[in-house]
Amino acid sequence: MPAYPVHTIAEITGGALNQPEAGAVIEHLLLDSRKLVFPESSLFFALKTERRDGHGFIAELYKRSVRNFIISEPVDFSEYPGAVFITVKDTLHALQALAAYHRNSFQIPVIGITGSNGKTIVKEWLNHLMEQDLRIIRSPKSYNSQIGVPLSIWPMSASDQLAIFEAGISERREMVKLAEMIRPTIGLITNIGEAHDLGFSSLIEKLQEKLLLFRQSETIIYCSDHELIDDLLRRNPTSFPQRLFCWGHSAEADLEIKSTSVGNQSATVELEYYKKSFQFSIPFTDEASIENAIHCCCTLLLLGYDPAIISERMVQLPVVAMRLELKKGINGCSLINDSYSADWSSFKIALEFLARQQQVEQKTVILSDFKQSGKENDALYPDIAAALRQKNVQRLIGIGPSISEFAKHFEYAGIRCRFFLTTADFLEQFHPSDFRDETILLKGARAFEFERISQVLEQQVHQTVLEINLNHITHNLKRYQQLLQPETRLMVMVKAFSYGAGSFEIANLLQFHRVDWLAVAYTDEGADLRKAGIRLPIMVMNTDAAAFETLTTYDLQPELYSFEMTRCFDAFLRSEAVIEYPVHIKLDTGMHRLGFAPEEMDALADFLLQTRSFRVVSVFSHLVAGEDPAEDAFTLHQAEIFKSCCAILQKKLGYGFIKHIANTAAIRRFPQLQMDMVRLGIGLYGVDPSHPEHADLKEVSTLKTTVAQVRKVSAGETVGYNRRGKIVRDSVIATIRIGYADGYPRTLGNSAGHVWIKGKLYPTIGSICMDMSMIDITGSEGITEGTEVVVFGERLSVSRLAEWAQTIPYELLTGISPRVRRLYFEE
C-alpha cells in the first residue's frame, strides 16, 4: 500500500492542517464508516451527497480509533483530542486530487477502458491473458465511478508493471475528472449504446464525453465497424491526434476481421494483421464475447505479443465472475461464492459483503494463496489476519503453501484455523458435519479450482432459481431517494417475503444502506428479521392479540387501526407494566379496508391521552389509486382528509409525530405529498405502478429454469393434460422445470405465455402442470436438455408476464414458491 505523510496529503489537496506537526502516515482511504479495517492508518473523507453527509460519522469513527479526517465543514477540534483534520473546499475533489497525484508518480503503461458495455469483461480478460508475464494492477470489480476510480488507483505501487482501469459515466462533465486521475497511455472504447442514456441529449454527446478519457493517450483502440465512433475519431484529427488502432471488417482496419465461425461451444475468428493471417478461438459463442475478445487481441498486438501466443491463450479465456453470489448451503449455512480471484482489493469487497450478513453469528472464510497482491507475503498475510479479526471472522480455512506458511499470524489474531496445501487435500478430508449454521465466504484464485468446494458446500435443490440482483436493489433505492426532500424519511416494505425476493437478505441490504424504517405484514415476519440480526425500526401492519407478546419481545411496532385492537393492546401493555410503547396509527381516508375513520379522531385522541401505554410514532393512510391519473382528484382529496385528521390528533395529543401517505407511485407523481416519510414498496424491485416501463429502474428478480427434455411431436398429436395442446404441424417440444407449484400461473398455458431462450421468445403449449410446463421450440437451434430458460427478468419483464397472465406484477412476485431457490448476487 502507498504511504503518505498526512502533511503531504494536505499539500496535495490544498487543505489546511489543524496540527501542522502531525506525523501520521496514511496507507488506506476510507469513504464509508461501515468498511473500516485499519483505523490507525486510514484517512476518512467526509463526502457529502444529496442524502448523506460524511461529517455525521466523524464521532463514530473517532470512537473506533480513526484519527485522520478530511473535512469541508467546520468541526470542533476540541471534541477530538489527538485527531488530525485537513480542511478543504470539497472532499470529493480532494480525494480525486490525491488519486491523480498518486497516479502521476508512476510511468508504467496504463490502459483506460470506457464504453457502454463490456468494460469489466475486457479488463478481466486482459488481466488473464497477461498476468503470467506482468504484475498488473486493475480496477476491482466495476469500480469505475467518481469515487470508484480513486479507490482503484490508490493501491498502485512501484512493483506494478501495467495498470488497467475502467471509467464509467452517467452524465455530462464526469469524464474530465476521471481522465485527470487515470491518464491512460492506451485508450480503449468497447462500444457505444443506450446504457446510461438519461444523462445525455444524444448518443453523439455521450460518445464525445466518453472520448475525453483519451485526451492524453498515445493510442486509441476501437472497432471501426461502429460507424459513429470511427467517424468521430477520424474526422477530428486535431481533437484526436493520437495513433488510432482499429479493428473491423474493412481492409483499411489495422486488424482486419476476415471471418467468424460459431459452433455449439466455441467461436473462431480469422484475422489479418500487417498482411499476416492468423486465427484464434474462444470458448464463447455470443457476439458480445467475440467483440470483447477482439478488443483484447488488439491490445496484446499493440503491446508486442506474438499472434501465436495470443491464439494459445485466447482459447483459455474464463467466464468472468461479475458478481458475489449468496446461496443456501448445507446444514443451515449461507454460502458466498467469490471463487474466481484472490487479490487484496476484491478480498476487501468480499469481506465487506460477508460482514453485512447478519443471519447467523458464526462466520468462516475459506481462502487460497494470493497470486498477485502488490505486497510481499510477510506484509500481506498479517494484513489479511488483521482484516479477518476486525470483521469478526471466527474461522479460517487456508488452502495453499503460502498462506499455510503464515499460519501463526492467524492464530495470533485469535482465529480458529486449519490449513491445506491443495484443494484436493481439503476435499479429501471434507465432512459435511464440519459446517453448520454459519456464513461461509469462499474466496480463491482461479488456479485453486474452488468451484469444486462450492459444489460440496452448496445445498442441492430444485433447478428453478430466482436470482436477486442486490446491485439493482441498491440502484432502485437510490433512484427513489433522489426524488425525496432531504428531510423526508424512508420506510421500505419487506412484507410478503420482500415481494418474493427473500426477507432477511433484502432487509440486511436496506439496513446497510441506512433506510429509516421497515414494514412487514405480520408479527412472525418481524420476529424472523430480528432473529436474523436486523436492528432497524420495524412496523407490523397486521397483528392480533395472540401476537402481542412476540411483538414486544422483539421490539416490533404495531399498526393500530381500530378501537378494539387499541384497547386490547393497551390492556396487554398495562399487564406487562410497559409505558409509551411506540405505535403507528392507521387512518381510513378512502380505501375502506382498515383504519380509523375521520369522524373518530376526537374519540381516538381522547383514548390515547387517557393511557400511558402508547407513544404515537407515526400516523399514516393508504392511497387508493396514486398511480392512476384518472383518479388524481381523489388522491388529493384523500391527502386533504389525512392532513385535517393529523391536525386534530396533533393538537389534542400535544406532541408531533411522523406523517406519511405517499406510496411507490406517489413518490414520483405527488412530490407535495412526501410529508415526513414515504413508503417504498414494489418500486424497490424495479416495478413502478405509475410508469411500468420507467427507464431509470432496474429489474431486480430473474426467474430461471432449465430444459428437462426435448422431443419431436407429429402433427395431429396433443401435448399435456386433457389434450389441450393441439399440434397442427410437426413440432419440437421442450419440457421445462417449472409449474404452478413454483408460482407459474396456469393462465399462461396454451400460448398465453412465452419464455426467453437463447435470445428468442417461445410460446407455451398445453396446460401448465404442477411441476413442469411445455414450450413449442419448433425452428430453434441449439436448445437441448439443460439449456437455460428465463421466465422473467431484464429481457422479459415481470410486468409483461403479468399482462399475459391477466394479473399484476405484485401477484407474480409474491407467488414464487419457497421451494424455488433464491440466489442473491452483487456485481
Pick the catalytic residue: 391, 495, 659, 704? 495
For residues 663 and 667, give the distance between their C-alpha atoms in angstroms, rounded to a whole number.
6
Contacts of 209 (CB under 8 A, 6+ apart): 169, 172, 173, 174, 175, 200
For residues 703 and 505, give the distance between their C-alpha atoms in angstroms, rounded to a whole number.
17
Q: In the chain, how long is the greatest CA-to-CA distance? A: 93
3-state secondary structure of 255: strand
CA nearest neighbour of 755 among 744, 747, 763: 763
> Would residue 655 show up in a list of annotated catalytic residues for this protein?
no
**Residue pair 340/318 in contact by the 8 Å Cβ criterion:** yes
Specify the DSSP element, H or E, that contains 607: helix 601-609
For residues 416 and 497, give the distance between their C-alpha atoms in angstroms, rounded to a whole number.
35
3-state secondary structure of 529: helix
Can you say how many angstroms the Cα of residue 784 is from the centroid of all Cα atoms in its chain? 32
- Backbone phi and psi for residue 162, each to the nearest 5 degrees, phi listed first: -155, 140
Copy the grid coordinates of residue 44: 476518512
For residues 502 and 825, give the distance between their C-alpha atoms in angstroms, rounded to a whole number.
13
For residues 737 and 756, give the distance between their C-alpha atoms in angstroms, rounded to a whole number.
14
**Residue pair 659/620 in contact by the 8 Å Cβ criterion:** yes
The sign of the dihedral angle between the CA atoms of 664, 481, 512, 169 is positive
**Residue pair 181/162 in contact by the 8 Å Cβ criterion:** no
For residues 147 and 573, give the distance between their C-alpha atoms in angstroms, rounded to a whole number.
49
CA nearest neighbour of 815 among 738, 734, 724, 757: 738
**Residue pair 526/554 in contact by the 8 Å Cβ criterion:** yes
**Residue pair 527/554 in contact by the 8 Å Cβ criterion:** yes
3-state secondary structure of 648: helix
Pick the catalytic residue: 258, 412, 478, 721? 721
**Residue pair 637/603 in contact by the 8 Å Cβ criterion:** no
For residues 550 and 810, give the distance between their C-alpha atoms in angstroms, rounded to a whole number.
28
3-state secondary structure of 134: coil
For residues 752 and 755, give the distance between their C-alpha atoms in angstroms, rounded to a whole number.
11
Sheet containing 68-71: order of strands: 16-17, 84-87, 68-71, 42-45, 28-30
> Would residue 721 show up in a list of annotated catalytic residues for this protein?
yes
- Could you list the active site residues? 495, 721
